[in-house]
Chains A and B, each alone.
Chain A
């Protein structure tokens, strides 16, 4: 149930994001999802890609600080209350969401959300016990 996300440190400077996408494009890495968290000085770019190893080494070679984080991809039913159900469930289980963002592609009729939890394994267990689908990395990267 692992999904590897790469995170990149970026200064808030013109052209830095284009630098990253340029490196990934030249390395023929496909971006599947992305989210940017930023402050006035810097930001953290989070990416799900089809080949995280290739992306990591290309970005490091380009001089970026890169780290990998284990995140969880969850199918969310595409109707009112779909996401709310998941958040409530996690809240009851005492699991915190550090951040989350949407995956571009749908899984069948369902939306896909990427979550970073403070307790990854416990979160996966709670979600699966409730009958929710957690998508494995290998499937997600090529979905």
Chain B
């Protein structure tokens, strides 16, 4: 099913005409009302009238997370506060929080995009939605909530935490859709099991998961444990919140970006150059309809690629592949760009499992060295030293072949790689530069 057939299946030519018209209006308004954009355009010797076609967008400067921080809290708002009806903020775990605002029209746009997303993920007006995304400054909970109400579904605003009560609600209220982070969903499944509640036998049919990176393996595990179809949702508060892109449950192969509201670009994170469809790089967004908080060429730091191929669901909007990493994780080792996610892929292919790993970068006599520490779990373990040494050599050889960097591979005991809030610390850079 498609919520907004006209816009979601619009022929590319008509879509691009709308994008250009909306882009021009956004640039005019941002330039006129946000001092930061006026200054950044001027520094590049540009004014909104210089942007005459979509291809001209790439001449404009980028906006970064640091720019938003520098304008904390409301400096990037393009409307006076009396027309702002909502404020959200990022958690700020990696620095000062970034603050975003919405006008009434923005809230409505967001709700529409979330209604589209829920429908793409399998929801209808007849569904009961168990919304376990956190409510609050984080956009996840309220984003899903407004979309669910817009769609006309019944939403249970259960938010995060209080896991045992959630299981009881799931058993008694019989929700048919779950929206949550993938890791919390797996936690729910574990707790349900401990309580003797069979997750497979609950009423769920579809699940919409996001707000953190997850893998195809995790999707399969969730689908098996919950007996549902699981799709990926993407968004970030700076762009609007969840509902920037959604996977359709028909194909489950990449997330449609709502291009009538956002222009997506993929750039080389090192040079800033725009990359063609299919190539992997950093995702950059320009908002086309937002009033309170327009963003122009905002660097998400998320690494992915775009796929323009037609989709079986009928949507014409380009698809982004699963986010494979963050560009701020990018390491430059002897001049070669290396993302931890690329090492992860090599490990997956070589060992056929996803082991915990850690990259240690150091500098010896002015030369960068890369050590990949790999935890030896049961699947990798062999009783014979020779096989383990072969595994080390094979991983090292494949890293060299696929990424072009030499790496020393060291096998380590399980749990010897430090975890931070449950997440493994992927990179240790000891270089003193």
Interface of A with B (CB < 8 Å)?
5, 7, 9-11, 16, 37-39, 41-44, 46, 63-67, 69, 98-99, 116
Contact = CB atoms under 8 A, between A and B. Distances in A.
B421 interface: no
Contacts of A16: 413
Closest 10 pairs (CB-CB, A-B): A7-B383, A69-B383, A37-B385, A65-B381, A9-B376, A11-B413, A63-B415, A67-B381, A65-B376, A42-B411
B377 interface: yes
Interface string B381-419: 111110011000000000000000000001111111000
Contacts of A66: 378, 381
Contacts of A37: 385
13 contacts: A5-B383, A7-B383, A9-B381, A11-B412, A39-B389, A42-B410, A44-B383, A44-B388, A64-B413, A65-B377, A65-B381, A99-B384, A116-B383
A67 B376 CA distance: 12
Interface string B184-214: 0000000000000000000000000000000
A46 B382 CA distance: 11
A63 B410 contact: no
Nearest to B378: A65
Contacts of A116: 383-384
A65 to B, nearest CB: 5
A11 B383 contact: no
A48 B293 CA distance: 67
A116 B386 CA distance: 14
Interface of B: 376-378, 381-385, 388-389, 410-416
A65 B388 contact: no
A81 B111 CA distance: 85
Task: Tell me the interface secondary structure of chain B in the complex.
Answer: loop
A46 B413 contact: no
Contacts of B415: 63
B384 A63 contact: no
A38 B410 CA distance: 13
Nearest to B389: A39
Contacts of A98: 384
A12 to B, nearest CB: 10
A43 B411 CA distance: 10
A29 B319 CA distance: 57
Contact of B414 (A39, A63, A67): A63
B385 A67 contact: no
A43 B383 CA distance: 10
A37 B388 CA distance: 12
A42 B360 CA distance: 18
Contact of A65 (B385, B389, B410, B413): B413
B419 to A, nearest CB: 13
Contacts of B410: 41-42
Contacts of B378: 65-67
Contacts of A38: 385
A99 B378 CA distance: 21
B411 A9 contact: yes
Contacts of B385: 37-39, 43-44
B424 to A, nearest CB: 15
Nearest to A71: B383
A123 to B, nearest CB: 16
Contact of B413 (A10, A39, A67, A99): A10
A37 B381 CA distance: 14
Contacts of A10: 413
A11 B414 CA distance: 10
Contacts of B416: 11
B364 to A, nearest CB: 17
A9 B381 CA distance: 7
A44 B381 CA distance: 10
Contacts of B412: 11, 42
A127 B222 CA distance: 50
Contact of B384 (A42, A43, A44, A64): A44
B414 A65 contact: yes
B411 A41 contact: yes
A37 B382 CA distance: 12
Contacts of B411: 9, 11, 41-42
